[in-house]
Structure formats: C-alpha cells, structure tokens
Amino acid sequence: MPKHYLMCRPDFFTVEYAINPWMDPEAGADRDVAVRQWEGLKAAYEALGHTVSLIDPIEGLPDMVFAANGALVAGGRVYGARFAFPERAAEGPAYLNWFAERGFPTHEAVHVNEGEGDFLAMDEVILAGTGFRTSREAHGEAQEFLGRPVVSLTLVDPRFYHLDTALFPLHGRNIAYYPGAFSEGSLRVLRRMFPDAVIAGADDAEVLGLNAVSDGEHIVINSEAHDLQLDLKRRGYEVIPVELSELRKAGGGPKCCTLEIRGKTDMTTSAEHIDVSERRSAHNYHPLPIVIHEAHGAWVTDVEGKRYLDFLSGYSSLNFGHGNPKILQAAHEQLDNLTLTSRAFYHDQFAAFCAGLGDLTGKDMILPMNTGAEAVETAIKVARKWGYQVKGVAPEQANIIVMEDNFHGRTTTIISFSTDPDAHDDFGPYTPGFTVVKYGSVEAIRDAIDANTVAVLLEPIQGEAGVLVPPDGYLRQVRELCTSQGILMIADEIQSGLGRTGKTFACDHEGVVPDMYILGKALGGGVVPVSAIAADEDVLGVIKPGQHGSTFGGNPLACAVGNAVIEILNTGEFQERAAQLGEVLHARLREMIGHGVVTVRGRGLWAGVDIDPSLATGREVSKALMARGVLAKDTHGSTIRLAPPIVISQEDLLWAVDQLADAIASFR
C-alpha cells in the first residue's frame, strides 16, 4: 500500500543540548553527513512508491528533522504535539500549521505528547507510550479527538524514551518490539495482544533497530540491526536497510524522521462514513446510523464487523437473500459476456426474459424498464393510449382511478396523485388525469368511474402506507367491476409480488388476474434495477416503435439476472417458504398485541406492526431494535415494517421477533 509521509530536511541539525541519553553536545554531529543519510532515507521511500511531502526546517530547531514527533494523523484528523522540553516546544505549532494550512482538521493538545514518537496507529487501536515524554492524560485526549481506542504502555528504560524506539507495527495487526523497554504490566498487554509479534534482542534495540517503518510489505530499518533484519526476512518481509548513524547521535532513526499522513479517505468507522455522507449527500433519506459493508442471506455486517438481521430487504428487493448464489452466478457470467446493447439490436438474453416473465404472469407480452417508477409511468402511458385507441376516449380526457395513501414512486407524474404531503407538496405543477378514491372500497371506485375512466391503478397490499391489506373480496370485486365497465385493472406488485406474500403475486390470494402487472424490486434480485409491465397483446400491442423506450430497459445484464429470478420463482420454493414462515411470524406477532403493539397486518413474510404511540415512535423502536441486532424501518410515525429476506431461517426469524418484543418492552 503506497503511503504518504511528511519529512523535514536536517538543514539545521546539530546536537547542542541533551534531552536523552544518546545526545552528547561535546561530541556534536556532522550536519552534511546527516543530510546525505536523510536524503538516502527519502529516496528509499520514493523508490517504494510512497509519497514524501516536506515541511520547511526552522533554524534553531535542530531536532525538527524528527518529523514523527510533530503530530499524530489518523483518519485525516491531526492531533498536535506538545513537547516535554522547551528546546523543542516551537516544533508543535510549526507542524500543526502545516496541516491546518492544507485543510486538515487539527487539535492543539492540552496535554504533553510527542506525536507519533509515542503514538503508533494500528488497524483497530493506537498504541501509546508514556514514562518519559508523553503524558498519560494525552492518551485519553488523543482517544477523545480521534475516536479510536488508545492502549497505554509504560516505558522504563531511558534509552528508549519514545515508544517508537522500542516497537514498530509490522502491519495493522502485528508488531515487533524490544521487551526490555517495557514495564511488566505493559509486557503482559503486548503478549496478550500480539502473541505472534517479532521479539527483538538488546543488540538490535541498542542500534535503534526498532525505530523502523513498515508499509506492510517492506521494512525500512537501520542497517546495523542484523538479527532483527534476518527475523523479518524469515517472516517474508522485504528489508530495506538504511544508514542513519549521524541522526542516531540525537537519539533518532528512520521512524523518527517520518510522520505518516493517514488520509481522510480511509474511513474506517461508521461515524466517519455517516459524517461525510450527511455533509456530502442530499438529505432525502433519514437512514438508521449503520454503515453496511457486506451481506449474505438474511445477515448484514457493518464496517465495524457487527452483524444484523436484515428485516427490510431493500423494500422487498432482496426477497431471495443477499448474494443469492444462483443470481450472483448469472450476473457474474453475464458481466463477462455482454452488459449493454440498447434496444436498437436484439441480444441473446432478451427473448428468454420476456417469454419467461410472460409465462410467470400468464401474459402475452412484457415491456421491460429499469426502476419501479418507470414501470408505473409505462403502465400509465399504455393505459392512456389504450383508452384513446381501443376504448375511444376523447383526446386528452383519459382518467385513471388511484387510491388514497398510494405509493407508486417518485416521478413528477406519480407524485401528482400522491396523498402523502412529503411526497407531493411543492413539486407542482402537477400532472392531471387522476382521481383519488378511498382504498378498500369498491363503491368508491364505482362512483368515480365515468366515460373517461381508462384504468384503476392500485397496490394489492399497500406497502409504504404500513402494509395495509384490503378487506377480503376487494380485489375480486375490483376485477369484476373493471371487466364489466371495460376499464383496465392495473396491479402495482412491485413490493407485494414475487414471493413476498406467500404467493407469486398478492393478487393470487383472491385468484385475481389484473390486466397489467407492474413489477420491479425483487425482479432485479437485489443486484440491478429491473422492472417491467406484463399485459396481453390487446393492451400492450398499442405501443408502436418509437413511442416508448429506455436505453437500459431490458439490457443483457438485467435480463440475465431477471432470468435467474424467474427460474427461482418457477420452482415455487420461495412462495411456499414465505407462506410457512409467514404463519410463524404472524402467530408470534399477534401474541404481542396488547403488549405495546396495537395492531398487526400483513401477509406471508410481510408485516406492519403498529406500536402503541404513547410508548414510543416507530423510529425510536427501530433504533432500539437495531441496538439488538435487527434492522427494520418505521413508516408513518408509529408503524414498523417487517420484511426479512425469504431465505431467513425460522430460528433467526423468531429471534428477531423476540428482539422486537424486547425493544418495545424497553419503553414500558
């Protein structure tokens, strides 16, 4: 890994005071030799591909060459040095300024510390020395400013007055050290933390062999540290010996001359990711404070390695689990073959996708798009064109009946008929041509139908509204009404479809077949956005070349992933599993009614749980649930939506519901 180092040329180097046992003002030192040796060190770093920045040396500060003492830089944050001896005091502000001028967040230390001389950053912790220079209070101060755990180690031998004279990191998780420099307790800490450390002998320590710099592969080290070099080679490191004998007369070696600049891009903690995300992205979401790094099946892992059960599943996009092996394999293979052609040409994944999805829906034709909202837009356009061309509606008069509390997407046309003020307000002027009626009432639809009505657009279960299941028989009656009135029934099954409710489509629960299915989310297997509408030729046939399209719609990668999803659904396995686990889930949730839960709705592995609003808000419960290792999201104030990947085990499912019960109980 290429590193970034800060160095200071020893143009004003001398040994004229003694603040450590190596320094002898009588003997002095040769500045020209020091500069030549220092140039050799800098060249060695550059030959390894590292970047070296320089800070101007200041006359009268002979030890300023020892850049390591100037600060500690981690995650782009700079903890400044405050020197123990007045001879070096002015170096602290000089280094801190260098960083401040370059836009680094800096902290002027209250407590005495000598930067990287006594602070060595590892992957998970910072090792910190005390005993001669850096105060123990500074360890706490650094931890507070950098937000990383600091492990205090006590130095006992005055020749090894800085931690970096007796210990160096081989990489982020292991070290080399000289035991003679540490107190008994600190030694026990080191043995416990680094059972596999390289142990150096007195001979190597006495030539400052432990004042070395490793990039994880190469180790730049004083040339006289012979045994240590052999040990390191045996461990597989490439050893780069450097001659720094002149600087050793001041008690310094390669590491003392080198301050590592660990950049802002190395965002290892959730807090840092969240901080940058909040500052650099629009605030159109209000995420829970977790930063996910990887996921398999129903489990996700955050950047700190903590695991959580995913009870949101990308709003049903991850029905088949994170990293579903069948879907991933299809995607990987297709990535290597062909990813995009545009629809100007045919490609060899398209026919299978359209025929397969057509068979799954029982429809003649497919029109593929990318996102769910695009598919809804497509359905609206098709319905309108069908209205004018087939039904004979007067030009510009077509009207579509939609439902209160609907959620179909975020485009300007779709939000025009949203009844949610957040989704709707201040985005006008709005697209006309929609009539909103009460969800769950066939009468309301009947009353709204007139000669210009071309379609009824609804979600068979309203997801965003809080997993609202309409009254029994509603879908069937809507179907009959649409048929008798000669208007299209359009089912938005983006969230409810493809296995979630225990059937392929939520409409299946009432044996209803709409004129148009709108599909998305799980159709892309959690890998790529894939959406589509499915309808028979008498409807979808109204679209002619050039009248609708999408560059990425139906692309080879999307189709290959979609084909894997269709194959999975054709086995019926997931539908059955969702039905079975759904019963377990709902039985358990029903027991919670009266214990902080007001109502439970849903079907299959999908539930809306209304929390007693006098106890806590949905967000508070979501957070308490997250603290217990389960990720779910609230909607509309006091509802928690539960939708785990269908691959979840029954054991994990029940465990998660226990966590929900416990989270709710914590507010009582």
Which residues are the active-site residues?
407, 492, 521
Interface with ligand ARG, residue 165, by CB under 6 A: yes
Residue placing its CB nearer to ligand ARG in the complex, 221 or 295: 221
Residue placing its CB nearer to ligand ARG in the complex, 9 or 633: 9
Interface with ligand ARG, residue 167, by CB under 6 A: no
Closest CA to 186 of 160, 206, 209: 160
Single out the segment in contact with ligand ARG by CB under 6 A; choices: 45-53, 246-254, 408-416, 546-554: 246-254
Single out the segment in contact with ligand ARG by CB under 6 A; choices: 236-244, 247-255, 450-458, 611-619: 247-255
Write the DSSP symbol of residue 200: P
Contacts of 121 (CB under 8 A, 6+ apart): 72, 74, 148, 169, 260, 262
Question: Between β-strands 365-369 and 531-535, what pairing exists: parallel, antiparallel or unpaired?
Answer: antiparallel
Interface with ligand ARG, residue 470, by CB under 6 A: no
Strand-pairing partners, residue 150, are 126
Residue placing its CB nearer to ligand ARG in the complex, 68 or 458: 68
Q: Least distance in Å: CB of 162 to ligand ARG?
A: 4
Report DSSP letters for 250-316, one per residue.
TT--TGGG-EE---TT---SHHHHHHHHHHHS--S----S--EEEEEBTEEEETTS-EEEESSHHHH
Distances (CA, A) of 511 to 460, 503, 514: 12, 11, 10
Q: Which of 252, 460, 502, 556 binds ligand ARG (CB under 6 A)?
A: 252
Residue placing its CB nearer to ligand ARG in the complex, 246 or 492: 246
Long-range contacts, 582-591 (Cβ 8 Å, 24+): 582/501, 582/502, 582/606, 584/650, 584/653, 584/654, 585/642, 585/653, 585/657, 588/654, 588/657, 589/642, 589/657
Interface with ligand ARG, residue 260, by CB under 6 A: no
Q: Token pair for residue 525?
A: 């297997």
Q: Least distance in Å: CB of 287 to ligand ARG?
A: 42
Q: Least distance in Å: CB of 261 to ligand ARG?
A: 16
Give me the phi and psi of 271, to 5 degrees please. Answer: -55, -40
Interface with ligand ARG, residue 78, by CB under 6 A: no
Interface with ligand ARG, residue 77, by CB under 6 A: no
Q: Least distance in Å: CB of 133 to ligand ARG?
A: 7
Interface with ligand ARG, residue 258, by CB under 6 A: no
Q: Least distance in Å: CB of 116 to ligand ARG?
A: 7
- Would you call 553 exposed, middle or buried from its count of C-beta atoms within 10 A (0-12, 13-18, 19+)? buried
Residue placing its CB nearer to ligand ARG in the complex, 19 or 527: 19
CA 541 to chain centre: 43
Residue placing its CB nearer to ligand ARG in the complex, 50 or 162: 162
Q: Least distance in Å: CB of 266 to ligand ARG?
A: 22
Q: Which of 75, 169, 251, 554 binds ligand ARG (CB under 6 A)?
A: 251
- Using CA atoms, how far apart are residues 167 and 169, in angstroms rounded to an integer? 7
Residues 582-611 that bind ligand ARG (CB under 6 A): none
Residues 340-359 that bind ligand ARG (CB under 6 A): none
Single out the segment in contact with ligand ARG by CB under 6 A; choices: 159-167, 278-286, 364-372, 614-622: 159-167
Interface with ligand ARG, residue 162, by CB under 6 A: yes
Q: Which of 91, 141, 164, 492 binds ligand ARG (CB under 6 A)?
A: 164
Interface with ligand ARG, residue 250, by CB under 6 A: yes
Q: Token pair for residue 496?
A: 């409810």
Single out the segment in contact with ligand ARG by CB under 6 A; choices: 61-69, 363-371, 401-409, 474-482: 61-69
Q: Least distance in Å: CB of 629 to ligand ARG?
A: 43
Phi-psi region of 607 (alpha: psi -120 to 50; beta: other; left: phi over 0): beta
Cα four-point dihedral sign 152, 158, 161, 165: negative
Distances (CA, A) of 119 to 159, 194, 251, 336, 523: 17, 17, 17, 46, 51
Residue count, binding to ligand ARG (CB under 6 A): 16
Residue placing its CB nearer to ligand ARG in the complex, 44 or 598: 44
Single out the segment in contact with ligand ARG by CB under 6 A; choices: 64-72, 307-315, 385-393, 573-581: 64-72
- Using CA atoms, how far apart are residues 475 and 441, in angstroms rounded to an integer? 10
Residues 84-143 that bind ligand ARG (CB under 6 A): 88, 117
Q: Token pair for residue 494?
A: 């983006």
Residue placing its CB nearer to ligand ARG in the complex, 114 or 272: 114
Q: Least distance in Å: CB of 13 to ligand ARG?
A: 10
Residues 11-50 that bind ligand ARG (CB under 6 A): 19-20, 23
Report DSSP letters for 41-65, one per residue.
HHHHHHHTT-EEEE----TT-GGGG
260-296 burial by CB neighbour count: b if 16+ within 10 A, else e? bbbeeeebebbebbeeeeeeeeeeeeeeeebbbeebe
3-class secondary structure, 366: strand
- Would you call 625 exposed, middle or buried from its count of C-beta atoms within 10 A (0-12, 13-18, 19+)? buried
Distances (CA, A) of 653 to 136, 284, 497, 569, 595: 47, 30, 21, 22, 19
Single out the segment in contact with ligand ARG by CB under 6 A; choices: 43-51, 162-170, 469-477, 589-597: 162-170
Tell me, what amino acid is at 432? Answer: P
- Using CA atoms, how far apart are residues 17 and 50, in angstroms rounded to an integer? 33
Residue placing its CB nearer to ligand ARG in the complex, 257 or 401: 257
Interface with ligand ARG, residue 256, by CB under 6 A: yes
Q: Which of 69, 313, 349, 638 binds ligand ARG (CB under 6 A)?
A: 69
Q: Least distance in Å: CB of 247 to ligand ARG?
A: 8
Q: Least distance in Å: CB of 620 to ligand ARG?
A: 49
3-class secondary structure, 343: coil
Strand-pairing partners, residue 610, are 599, 639
Interface with ligand ARG, residue 68, by CB under 6 A: yes
CA 165 to chain centre: 38
Residue placing its CB nearer to ligand ARG in the complex, 62 or 553: 62
Footprint on this chain of ligand ARG (rule: CB under 6 A)? 19-20, 23, 63, 66, 68-69, 88, 117, 162, 164-165, 250-252, 256
